[in-house]
Amino acid sequence: MTNPLRLGIAGLGTVGIGVVKIVQTHADLLATRAGRPIEIVAISARSRSKDRGVDLTGYAWEDDPVTLAKRDDIDVFIEVMGGDSGPAKASTEAAIASGKDVVSANKALLALHGQALAQAAEDAGRVIRFEAAVAGGIPVVKSLTEGLAANVITRVIGVMNGSCNYILTRMEDAGLPYQDVFDEANALGYLEADPELDVGGIDAAHKLALLSSIAFGTRVDFPAVELEGIGSVSIEDIRQAADMGYKIKLLGVAQMTGRGLEQRMSPCLVPETSPLGQLQGGTNMVVLEGDAVGQIVLRGAGAGEGPTASAVMADVIDIARGTRLSTFGQPASTLRKVRAAQASVAAPYYVRMELVDKPGALSKVAAILADAGVSIDRMRQYGHDDTAAPVLIVTHKTTRTALDAAIEGFARTDVVSGPPVAIRIEAE
């Protein structure tokens, strides 16, 4: 009889319990597809006494995940605790040093320490798999490392945080302001304990940094991601975008340019008829573009017990089958350290501002834009009262550098009230 693949699971939250349920309910299916039985040997979590709704009595318990990682009777260490350091990092390192393969759902850990961990694993002849760390149940890591391995990837673009997509689509559907929907999402448990990880774009930027590394053969560089959350997006922006045929999404974009690797996570306008524009609720979507294959669109649940546990077990089954891949699709020693490019690819921008109601205000704004090399495609004034004149401008293609220069120019005048809102218009 073929020896079983023995698992140790660190973390029994939503994802960890989802993994336990799959192993318990699909044992025969897993064995058939993997070519050998898969079984859980030991587990670890913060509380031993908590009722988690599944029978855990058949598994050995370790209070310390590092001790679990070092056990001689496990082959694969599954890290689903979370956190970019502390027990998650220490136990992952211990597992590698003890000759274990690692399956992780920890995007933050890999975004910050992925290069060192990948190198350590490969030096030890081990693998780290992390399909569950990016876009939940969507097999985007496998698509890049396997299905599209023969392509030069030209761009990665997508909605990678379901909570932000829920907030933006809910604002539009219900006509509610950002703060009301934020409070609603928080009360429903849709946001992290630290909501800024979601609405600030940090969670999604971790994922983008990982996909960039695979797509472009570069070292993971999370600090280089240009980051802007959705907190400045108003219901007025959503309505004005809709009037022009656009939707606002928190969009991750990575592409290699002549100036270096561009990575940004920020609100963008996308055509309402595009796949990304039609994405509703908490769903994720990642669009991959390759020189040979063209454009591939992957859509599905980006979080939750079942989808994320499904991704964990896909990696486990690959290991059981004997599939051995480098962490980021190629040996860690060959990953390039590249220069970061600051939004160098030109695009049109949506700019909303409030002008002080005085003669010549609009002409001053137009002159400042012209001096910065930014040309106006269209302009609209709406909701005028006796003190302020809200103005919406859509520019022709320009760089963010040029637009920022114009915005700085606005601040030096007496005709613009408050900071303008500038949102990139991203073509698909």
Same fold, 5-133 and 349-425: no
pLDDT of 358: 80
* DSSP H/E element including 406: helix 400-411
Could you confirm whether domain 349-425 is CATH 3.40.50.10490?
A: no
Quick one: average pLDDT of 107-128? 97
Predicted TM-score (pTM) of the model is: 0.93
pLDDT of 385: 64
Could you confirm whether domain 140-302+337-341 is CATH 3.30.360.10?
A: yes
- Mean pLDDT, the chain, rounded, equals 93
Q: Which residues pair with 422 in a beta bridge?
A: 351
- Residue ranges per structural domain of the chain: 5-133, 140-302+337-341, 349-425
Quick one: average pLDDT of 135-160? 96
Confidence band (pLDDT; 50, 70, 90) for 386? low
Fill in the DSSP letter of residue 186.
Answer: H
Q: Round to whole Å and give the CA distance between 134 and 214.
A: 12
Residue 180 carries which side chain, given as an amino acid letter? Answer: D
pLDDT of 1: 54
> Strand, helix or coil at 162?
helix
Taken as a whole, the chain contains a residue count of: 428
Place of tokens 């219901």: 235
Closest CA to 211 of 120, 112, 134, 295: 134
pLDDT of 40: 98
From residue 377, alpha-carbon distances to 23, 306, 349, 380 in Å are 57, 46, 10, 11
Which residue numbers are catalytic? 207
Residue 5 carries which side chain, given as an amino acid letter? Answer: L
Place of tokens 């891949």: 325
More confidently predicted of 18 and 419: 18
From residue 403, alpha-carbon distances to 21, 260, 344, 389, 400 in Å are 52, 20, 12, 21, 5
Place of tokens 């031993």: 48
Q: Round to whole Å and give the CA distance between 421 and 233.
A: 8
**The CATH classification of domain 5-133, taken from the options 3.30.1370.100, 3.40.50.720, 3.40.640.10, 3.40.50.300:** 3.40.50.720
Quick one: average pLDDT of 105-112? 97
Contact between 112 and 97 under an 8 Å Cβ cutoff? The reply is no
Quick one: average pLDDT of 298-310? 92
More confidently predicted of 335 and 344: 335
* CB neighbour class for 58 (10 Å; exposed up to 12, middle 13-18, buried from 19): exposed
Quick one: average pLDDT of 62-74? 97
